[in-house]
Structure 1
Amino acid sequence: MTTRTPRSRAGAEDSALVTRSERKQRTRGALLDAALQLMSEGRSFTSLGLREITREAGVVPTSFYRHFRDMDELGLALVEESGLTLRRMLREARKQGRPDTDMVRRSVEVYKEYVEANRLQFFFISGERHGGSPVIRRAVRNEATHFINEMAEDIRQLNIAPRLSFASLQMICNLIVSTMMQAATDILDLPANQPQAHRELTDFLVKQLRVIFLGAMQWKEKPLV
């Protein structure tokens, strides 16, 4: 004979599971936000301590280990979460036009808006790109590599530079990604009440990327021997 769980009890158990899952996700988010908030005060990631992060997040220190093995894993989560959404948004922007029309400007606008909406994350990435934690530096470089490869693949599929090899496309995209990562600090330093300065920086970045694309169109690969 099969024993059935009463519907009211089953519903309560499901609700409890959802509540625990949501509570765990909220605590994880609070720990990430706490680290970002502390770094926004001019601190480096390597200077942060586990106890001050949990204190800032309003949780007990032991709860940290339910979400992260150590501080490096927390830093890796910050890098990954900062990159995933941006990569998706930029891929969508690249599908909306070609480099000689709308694609470059739209990509710059998407990137600028994302940096401005996620200031704390980009303060972290900009600081740790050349910071003290080798693990985080590698993670930032790996994230940049994902951007490079995805952009190169999109350019190839859009048939923008059909005579160039994928390796050459990767080199070109490396220049673009490096330019935009460097531009993050310029975006973060823009005064909020000066729209002209925002337009000028956007135009400047668009020109930089168009110069890279123009150079790419003139690039002649050496024939393989």
Structure 2
Amino acid sequence: MSVLTGGKLKLVQAALRLITQSRSLTSLGLRELAREAGLNPNTFYRHFRNLDEFGLFVLGYIAEDMKKGVRELRRMAESSDQAAHETVAFVYGYFLANPAATTVAVRELHGPSPLLRRALEGQLTASAREMAEDIIERGLVPGLDSATIHEISGMTIRYILFRAMDYIEKPQQRQQIQQETERFINWQFRGALVDSLSPEQIQALASRSPA
């Protein structure tokens, strides 16, 4: 995780411990959070105005950590297949190393707080936009227009988050989940490439395929 110190670090760590007990950020009480962090409740207000602002900070803290690593991997990729493989491996590895952070993201996407749901949706959208921009900049999927790449990137980000808890909770299926996710990404892009071809181009490709 990103470097964080002092009272903010203690509050974030306390929240991540508490939400692993089938909780959401919005269900945490201020006194409960401060007690878990070993702080006076008044210390909370030195850092945050209210629990909503704290929840937004926690989500942002988690998102920035993961996005940084993914961004660096995509920029080193030489092909779309390599980008898919390395990105999926990194993200699922992050999920496994930070299960509490992952639980926050999954729960709050469908949680009771409209503010946190909108914030998480915004972070997913931003991650998808960065993914698409990296793919376009590096020319990893030549032949696809930018709108299609942005659309597939959005679907990919949400699919990976959808599989996150299975990956954490079902160790015997981790390799299978990782491979399925890579196939999902590659099939989306390849299917879109085929969809962009004219009937004549598809026919020409089919005629060259081995029987």
User: Structure 2 counterpart of 1:188, which letter?
Assistant: I
Specify which structure has the higher proportion of helix: 2
Q: Deviations over 1:121-141 (max 9, x none)?
A: 111110110100111101100
Aligned residues: 195
Question: 1:113 corresponds to which residue?
Answer: 93
Match of 1:58 among 38, 52, 67: 38
Q: Deviations over 1:7-65 (max 9, x none)?
A: xxxxxxxxxxxxxxx9x932111111111111111112221100100000000000000
Q: CA deviation at 1:172?
A: 1.2
Question: 1:183 corresponds to which residue?
Answer: 163
| 2:12 is the alignment partner of 1:32 | yes
Stretches of structure 1 that go unaligned for 5 or more consecutive residues are 1-21
- After TM superposition, the score normalised by the length of structure 1 is 0.81
Report the Cα distance in structure 2 between the residues aligned to 1:66 and 1:166, rounded to whole angstroms: 44
2:110 aligned counterpart, secondary structure: coil
For 1:63-142, what aligned pairs fall within 5 Å after superposition?
Answer: 63-95=43-75, 96-100=77-81, 102-142=82-122
Stretches of structure 2 that go unaligned for 5 or more consecutive residues are 198-211
CA contact (8 A) 1:175 1:212 kept: no
Q: CA deviation at 1:218?
A: 2.1
Match of 1:218 among 161, 170, 194: 194
User: Structure 2 counterpart of 1:68, which letter?
Assistant: F
| Structure 1 stretch displaced more, 62-71 or 87-96 | 87-96
When Rg is computed on C-alpha atoms for both structures, the one with the higher figure is 1
Report the Cα distance in structure 2 between the residues aligned to 1:85 and 1:39, rounded to whole angstroms: 19
- After TM superposition, the score normalised by the length of structure 2 is 0.86
Q: Deviations over 1:174-200 (max 9, x none)?
A: 111111111111112123xx4xx3222
CA contact (8 A) 1:116 1:188 kept: yes
Q: Percent identity?
A: 32
| Structure 1 stretch displaced more, 144-153 or 182-191 | 182-191
2:139 aligned counterpart, secondary structure: coil
Question: 2:204 corresponds to which residue?
Answer: none
| 2:194 is the alignment partner of 1:201 | no
Say if 1:158 and 1:112 are closer, same or farther in 2 by CA, change over 3 A.
Answer: same
Q: CA deviation at 1:167?
A: 2.2
Q: Any runs of at least 4 consecutive aligned residues in structure 1 with deviations exceeding 6 A, and if so which?
A: none
Question: 2:200 corresponds to which residue?
Answer: none
